[in-house]
Amino acid sequence: MAHPVILSIDDDPAVSRAVARDIRRRYGDRYRVVRAGSGPEALDTLREIKLRGEQVAVLVADYRMPEMNGIEFLEAAMDLFPAARRVLLTAYADTGAAIDAINLVDLDHYLLKPWHPPEEKLYPVVDALLEAWTASPEAATTEIRVVGHRWSAPSFAVRDFLARNLVPYRWLLADEPEGGRLLAAAGASAADVPVVVTTDGKALVAPTETELAGIVGLNVVPAADFYDLVVVGGGPAGLGAAVYGASEGLRTVLVERRATGGQAGQSSRIENYLGFPDGVSGAQLTDRARRQALKFGAELLTTREVVGLAEAGSARLLRFDDGSTLAAHAVVLATGVSYRMLDAPGLADLTGRGVFYGSAATEAPSCVDQDVYIVGGANSAGQAAVYFSRYAARVHVLIRGADLTASMSSYLIDQLDRIDRITVHPHTEVVAGAGEGHLQCLTLRDTRTGQRRDVDASWLFVFIGAEPRTEWLAGVVARDERGYVVTGPDLVAGGSRPPGWSLPRDPYHLESSLPGVFAAGDVRAASVKRVASAVGEGAMAVSLVHRYLEAQ
């Protein structure tokens, strides 16, 4: 981490050099001494320091400077570094102005020029100021900083992307002092959020996910045009396929639309996964699988959306949304599923502003002592309820059925029963939402009686089943009526292979109606919707890819 800064400002080059020389001689081993020739130049320097997340300990400014005198500079500098100690250099004739500045800019000290010898007139002053500053310094940061509004959907999207990709960041509200100072340093306003400030001090206003991926070091461009295996989707099935494909010698690339982990990666706690008796968070499991895939040499591409698949002789060709293509001998489709949108008036406009799909764990600290509403009765909803109960005053789980036994694992039902803050509301559905700028009210309906009631609510998390993202596969591989990819024996009807099948054998167990293209995990028709089975299918798909390639 960089040393804290001591900044001196004087328009007289000789005096500027003398100040910097004397300060550097005593403090240069612990502090970075920076000098500027004018107030505007010094403010530009402070903005750069602010964006880099560094600290400023002491500001030493000459009173008589053109454009901006020392008092004016120190007053402006307070907006960026309010905790920095402030010293004014003055001539004897200006001591009255220096005394006035004690009240105007909370001046810590003024020094008469010349200050020689520094051992008597300079160092004792600076020693005392540094001691006071060290007792309560501004925290330096090596993390990405995100400035935004609490109820801004774009701000939430940035935070969610960073969190799901396991990128540490610091969240600052635009209407709080530190957030405002960072916006000022970036030359932005509260209307420009989200503003993302990188660890090297670069400010990005409303960046795209591809831009974010680039600044945090995620790969977005493949290293080659052709691979042995392309895995589409970075959930448990996709990561399993990438690990086994790369570890068994296949040149493998995994392509993920947003963030590795899929829905499982958003889970606060998975407790029934083999080998983790104390449970494991989805983020932890995802991170281990991602590192394991990289260890074996798999490439991971993020923020790349596949929109087309075609047969190109013996190769399989994938087309991205930017028009570029990627080819491989074989493909594993592991795109998983997405939560269905809750079709109720008023909710669509409030998505990301109180209405969220999935756990959105980044929002949990903001829910302290408030009521949280969760729609859904499967394991993902139960895990979210347990997680949010650590923060919320009360968690309301809304289900349309009579109880949870048909859709949730018994261990989770038992957990919910033991937590006093969680209440399950059977026969209840959300029929409307409303709010100015963010969610403020929900209308709930009893599915038996039709009776409606309004409740105050700022937080709604939806887990109402899922849909596969397979529209881009229409006409290329066989899908069932809900869009899931049909594979293996299910493709053989009445002893007949699927239309267009070109090989003198039946499709392998996880193989789609296009030879060499396999499906694993939740996207596959009739699959078991569990993390363990998804990982297993990813591994099994790779063994079938080997069989396919050996026969080519």
User: Domain 5-135 classified CATH 3.50.30.10?
Assistant: no
Q: Are 327 and 339 in contact (CB under 8 A)?
A: no
C-alpha atoms less than 13 angstroms from C-alpha of 229 in its C-beta half-sphere: 37
Q: Are 463 and 266 in contact (CB under 8 A)?
A: no
Q: The tokens of 189 are what?
A: 């306003």
Which residue do the tokens 């923060």 mark? 391
| Strands 460-462, 325-333: pairing kind | unpaired
Q: The tokens of 116 are what?
A: 């020689």
The DSSP letter of residue 67 is S
**Packing angle between helix 123-135 and helix 13-27, nearest 10 degrees?**
60
CB atoms within 10 A of CB 419: 13
Give the C-alpha distances (Å, rounded to integers) separating 474 from 191, 421, 481, 483, 489: 41, 45, 11, 9, 20
Give the C-alpha distances (Å, rounded to integers) separating 468 from 4, 336, 428, 510, 517: 52, 6, 26, 17, 17
Report the CATH number of the 144-215 domain.
3.40.30.10
In sequence order, what are the beta bridge partners of 374? 397, 461
Residue type, 188: A
Calculate ∠ Cα 202-207-208, nearest 5°.
140
Q: Are 239 and 290 in contact (CB under 8 A)?
A: yes
- In this structure, is the dihedral angle defined by the CA atoms of residues 273, 274, 278 and 284, taken in order, positive or negative? negative
What 3-state class would DSSP assign to 333? strand
In sequence order, what are the beta bridge partners of 300? 254
Report the CATH number of the 348-464 domain.
3.50.50.60
Write down the pLDDT at residue 403. 94
What 3-state class would DSSP assign to 91? coil
Cβ-count burial of 289 within 10 angstroms (0-12 exposed, 13-18 middle, 19+ buried)?
A: buried
Write down the pLDDT at residue 138. 61
B/e letters for 165-181, b = 16+ CB within 10 Å, e = fewer, are: bbbebbbbbbeeebbbb
Beta strand residue intervals within 313-357, DSSP E: 315-320, 325-333, 337-339, 355-357
Say how far apart CA 359 and CA 264 lie, in whole Å. Answer: 10
Which residue do the tokens 């939402």 mark? 433
What 3-state class would DSSP assign to 115? coil
Q: Are 425 and 455 in contact (CB under 8 A)?
A: no
CB atoms within 10 A of CB 365: 10
Hey, where are the domains in the chain?
Answer: 5-135, 144-215, 226-338+467-551, 348-464
Element (H, E) at 215: helix 209-215
C-beta pairs of 209-215 under 8 Å, 24+ apart in sequence: 209/157, 209/161, 209/258, 209/303, 210/303, 212/158, 212/161, 212/162, 212/303, 213/165, 213/302, 213/303, 215/144
Equal CATH topology for 144-215 and 348-464:
no
Say how far apart CA 292 and CA 116 lie, in whole Å. Answer: 62
| Of 191, 195, 190, 198, residue with least CA distance to 206 | 195
Report the CATH number of the 226-338+467-551 domain.
3.50.50.60
Say how far apart CA 180 and CA 188 lie, in whole Å. Answer: 9
Write down the pLDDT at residue 104. 64
| Strands 226-232, 195-197: pairing kind | unpaired
DSSP assignment of 126-166 equals HHHHHHHHHHSPPPP--SEEEEE-TT-HHHHHHHHHHHHTT
Say how far apart CA 110 and CA 60 lie, in whole Å. Answer: 9
Residue type, 354: G
Q: Are 423 and 455 in contact (CB under 8 A)?
A: no
Helices marked H in 248-352: 262-265, 282-295
Mean pLDDT by 10 residues, the chain (552 residues): 88 89 92 93 93 92 87 88 88 66 72 80 89 74 87 92 87 93 93 93 93 91 96 96 97 94 79 84 88 95 96 96 97 93 93 89 87 94 93 96 93 95 97 96 96 96 89 96 96 90 94 98 92 95 97 84
